[in-house]
Structure 1
Amino acid sequence: MSHLFKLFLFLMSSQCFAGTLTFKEVSKNEYELILKNEKSLEIAQAQQAIYDSAVKICKGMNPIYGKYKFESQEPISEDGETSSFTFVQNITCSDEVQSTPSRSKFVISKNQEIEINKLVSEMTNKFIQSKEEGSFKVAYDMMSPSMKKISDFNSWKKKESDYLIESGNLINRDVWRLTMYNNPDNSPSPGVYIAADYESSYDNHPVHCGYVMWFASNPNSKEYKVIREEAGKIPNDAMKNIKPENLQNIRKQIGCREL
């Protein structure tokens, strides 16, 4: 799944999906669109699927995408429950056109890119390891102000602590891919974005995959902050029911590398 599609907004014409779309008015010129589909979609696909409807709802104004949330359920075996996907997108109808001028790229040498990747890899390990060791304040301080606005420290700490108990002890972890985005157009703020993909294994969750998105205002800064984090897992009891031929597809759905 493209990190850029997850992080930045790309509005495209709709394609056909076997789903249903409903909407409700939240306030003047603000709406909540609810897409339900039989199969899981990537965030970009879901936003793409509802765009034409968003245009019609706005009646000549421009739909500006805001917050979204989703819930996805995939069967782990042929006898499991059917798959389902629910995507909720908030939009604001505005006379403004959502566009940004093309940004110039930072000059980053090959050696500098290697140094940045090394730094981000180390920070990613520190960020995750701090949570595993219960040093939640250390990890929380590595997050951006925008991330902290989403969840206050106590709420975030409880969620991470609960997961720590659920997953068990760490067996191994590998930060296996770093992807740099040099001052991309349509990004929330000018700067350098780096996605760090990782895969971990725990006593109770043999497969745990995800990525951490880091941001710095310029490539010379060492003050990278976490602006997004996503992860998926396969617990032991689920792993036992997955057929070998289905494992690769399930791993792909939660962001793991190919076997």
Structure 2
Amino acid sequence: MLDLLSSLIAMTPSRLAIAVSTCLFISASPAWAADLAYKKLSGTSFELVLSSDTSLTVDQAQAMMAEPAVKLCNGKIPEFGKYKFSSNDPVAGQPASNKTSFNMVQILSCVADIPERPKQASSKLSEDDIARFKIEGNKLSNAYMSAIDNGYYEVAYNMLGKSLKNLGPLEEWQTRTVAYQAQIGKQLSREFWRITVYDNPPNAYQAGTYVAVDYETKQSIAPITCGYLIWFQPAGTKNNFTLMREEYGHISDDILKSTAATDMGKLRKQMKCKT
């Protein structure tokens, strides 16, 4: 269950040495050791690559990248975005040389502020209002994802709110979006499996209505992609929702094939998918 957007950043201390496009050694505990490299994508975004001989969860890997992310952002707030990973655990009965290998690619954005996912509170909205906002969230999410699927990138970009547009101009956003589409392939199906309406939540950075849309899609390359969109309408306005937050990750076909059926539930939960 996606309770807070900020929970994707596990700020566990770790050691750091940084150099552009080189390997770094980091260790968050005696049991964890890894190499970390990074590449600058734009003035406010980076690609981090973590490699380890120890099997890690996504949360553990992000914890190891937390302090390097703070240093890279140099005063701005680090925000972890989309990621992909692969893990190869040794097979029982195989020689000891068959080591575990873990690799994770993480996109990092440096932002002025991170709006959290709203916390639910008592709402003054009527049941009709909530139903109407849920329909609007579904409609907006379909329009946004369809625009991306069909190459109407400017249409999709214009649906972003100020905080997302501040991460970069259309050209940078389009480059990142096209690159990710190439990784996961064409969308074959999508399901908006949970839509939640928040009315002036107490932890919101701005008063208004928030609609969180959790989704799961099937892509031609990545059979499972999970994420959520948060739409925001400022208080005192009508029909003026913009996308203020987006998070997603995917399970590639090779990981899916190498994962035992008994482990799929744990993997789906780790990926914040529908369970």
Shorter-normalised TM range = 0.5 to 0.7
Amino acid at match of 2:14: L
Q: Does 1:225 align with 2:242?
A: yes
Q: Does 1:166 align with 2:183?
A: yes
Assess, with a 3 A threshold, how the Cα gap between structure 1 residues 89 and 237 changes in structure 2: closer, same or farther.
closer
Q: 2:101 aligned to 81, 84, 94, which one?
A: 81
Q: Does 1:21 align with 2:14?
A: yes
* SS of alignment partner, residue 139 of structure 1: helix
Assess, with a 3 A threshold, how the Cα gap between structure 1 residues 110 and 152 changes in structure 2: closer, same or farther.
same
CA distances 1:186-207 after superposition (whole Å, capped 9, x unpaired): 3211111121000000111100
Which shifted more, 194-203 or 232-241? 232-241
How far off is 1:85 after superposition? 11
* SS of alignment partner, residue 107 of structure 1: coil
1:156 corresponds in structure 2 to: 173
**Contact 1:40-1:84 within 8 A present in 2 as well:** no
Q: Which whole-Å CA distance do the structure 1 matches of 2:232 and 2:184 have between them?
A: 28
1:125 corresponds in structure 2 to: 142
CA distances 1:115-135 after superposition (whole Å, capped 9, x unpaired): 110011110011111101000
Q: Which whole-Å CA distance do the structure 1 matches of 2:16 and 2:212 have between them?
A: 33
CA distances 1:195-242 after superposition (whole Å, capped 9, x unpaired): 100000011110011001111113862211111101011111222111
**Contact 1:216-1:224 within 8 A present in 2 as well:** yes
Assess, with a 3 A threshold, how the Cα gap between structure 1 residues 84 and 215 changes in structure 2: closer, same or farther.
same
| Structure 1 gaps, min length 5 | 10-16, 25-33, 51-64, 91-103
Assess, with a 3 A threshold, how the Cα gap between structure 1 residues 75 and 170 changes in structure 2: closer, same or farther.
closer
Q: What value does the CA root-mean-square deviation take over the aligned residues? A: 4.0
Q: Which whole-Å CA distance do the structure 1 matches of 2:80 and 2:138 have between them?
A: 29
Assess, with a 3 A threshold, how the Cα gap between structure 1 residues 157 and 41 changes in structure 2: closer, same or farther.
closer
Assess, with a 3 A threshold, how the Cα gap between structure 1 residues 184 and 84 changes in structure 2: closer, same or farther.
same
Assess, with a 3 A threshold, how the Cα gap between structure 1 residues 170 and 2 changes in structure 2: closer, same or farther.
closer
**Contact 2:86-2:255 within 8 A present in 1 as well:** no
- Runs (4 or more) in structure 1 with deviation over 6 Å come to 83-86
How far off is 1:78 after superposition? 2.3
User: TM-score, normalising length from structure 1?
Assistant: 0.68
**Contact 2:159-2:243 within 8 A present in 1 as well:** yes
Q: Which whole-Å CA distance do the structure 2 matches of 1:158 and 1:83 have between them?
A: 23
**Contact 2:124-2:199 within 8 A present in 1 as well:** no
2:78 corresponds in structure 1 to: 68
Amino acid at match of 1:81: S
1:2 corresponds in structure 2 to: 2
Assess, with a 3 A threshold, how the Cα gap between structure 1 residues 35 and 188 changes in structure 2: closer, same or farther.
farther
How far off is 1:20 after superposition? 4.5
**Contact 1:142-1:226 within 8 A present in 2 as well:** yes
CA distances 1:1-23 after superposition (whole Å, capped 9, x unpaired): 5343528x9xxxxxxx9x64358
| Structure 2 gaps, min length 5 | 18-25, 33-55, 68-74, 91-99, 111-120
Q: Which whole-Å CA distance do the structure 2 matches of 1:142 and 1:89 have between them?
A: 19
Matched-pair identity in %: 24
Q: Which whole-Å CA distance do the structure 2 matches of 1:140 and 1:210 have between them?
A: 18
Amino acid at match of 2:202: D
Q: Which whole-Å CA distance do the structure 2 matches of 1:186 and 1:244 have between them?
A: 39
**Contact 1:121-1:196 within 8 A present in 2 as well:** yes
Count of equivalent residues: 214
